[in-house]
Amino acid sequence: MTKKRVLIIYYSFTQQTKLQLKQFIAGLESCEIEVTLERIEPIHPYEFPFRTNYRLALAMIETFFQRRMEIQPVSAQCIGNWDRVILAGPTWSYHPSGPVLDFLDRFGREICADKIVIPFISCRSYWRWHYRTLQARLQKNGASVEEPIVFTHPIREPWRIIGLVLQLRGKMIRRDKSWFRKHYPGYGHNKEQGLEAMRKGKEIAEKLLSGI
């Protein structure tokens, strides 16, 4: 029997999507699914961390208006017959990130037409608008879109937003005994979400192997 093949195209700015994908891929591969991974590379990425509040605010505004961030051409390995395509990345000001938007504009049709695509989203809290934008763009490019796989940061507000801003500004408080750390153990996703990503990988693998 020929192996089932999954293409994962991803962008990750602060490595959260990447870490979740690592577990997800482990889940797929544990069921003998062949995975091809393609990282989207912006030509001029945002600095990390942002050096000033002004630069961060500007990025928030630009991304709200869905400013494209030009990427390097994707590699030839992406063109092929895939049983599923996973398009993964963070939410930026309610939308897909600039590099993913550029990917969809320039390579979306070539790679996603006639494919079944699963969006994979990492965000602080709000992802629905992001998903709808992806769904519309992918469908316009001739893809079928399945339910997204979504991971939100597992901490209550207002700590979650404060933690995100501190992280993006490179000012995260790291002292274990600090007052802030009692409310905010760390930026991004936690171990349970990593295991959840692995379970999702296995779930999709089983679906593919049973011919769904």
From candidates 23, 93, 133, 193, binder to ligand FMN by CB under 6 A: 93
From candidates 3, 15, 52, 128, binder to ligand FMN by CB under 6 A: 15
Please report whether residue 94 would count as binding ligand FMN according to CB under 6 A.
yes
Report residue 17 as tokens.
């999507």
**CA gap 26, 74 in Å, rounded:** 23
Residue among 129, 120, 192, 128 at smallest CA distance from 155: 192
Please report whether residue 155 would count as binding ligand FMN according to CB under 6 A.
no
**CA gap 78, 93 in Å, rounded:** 28
From candidates 126, 154, 170, 182, binder to ligand FMN by CB under 6 A: 126
Please report whether residue 53 would count as binding ligand FMN according to CB under 6 A.
no
Please report whether residue 120 would count as binding ligand FMN according to CB under 6 A.
no
State which H helix or E strand residue 7 sits in. Answer: strand 5-10
Please report whether residue 164 would count as binding ligand FMN according to CB under 6 A.
yes
- Nearest distance, CB of residue 3 and ligand FMN, angstroms: 28
Please report whether residue 7 would count as binding ligand FMN according to CB under 6 A.
no
- Nearest distance, CB of residue 129 and ligand FMN, angstroms: 8
Please report whether residue 13 would count as binding ligand FMN according to CB under 6 A.
yes
Residue among 135, 167, 165, 134 at smallest CA distance from 15: 167
Please report whether residue 159 would count as binding ligand FMN according to CB under 6 A.
no
State which H helix or E strand residue 152 sits in. Answer: strand 149-152
CB contact at 8 A, 8 and 35? yes
Q: Tally Cβ neighbours within 10 Å of residue 1.
A: 5
From candidates 92, 103, 107, 120, binder to ligand FMN by CB under 6 A: 92
For ligand FMN, give the closer residue by CB, 4 or 163: 163
Q: Tally Cβ neighbours within 10 Å of residue 175.
A: 8
3-state secondary structure of 142: coil
- Nearest distance, CB of residue 123 and ligand FMN, angstroms: 3
Q: Where on the chain is the footprint of ligand FMN (CB under 6 A)?
A: 12-17, 59-60, 63, 90-94, 122-126, 164, 168, 188
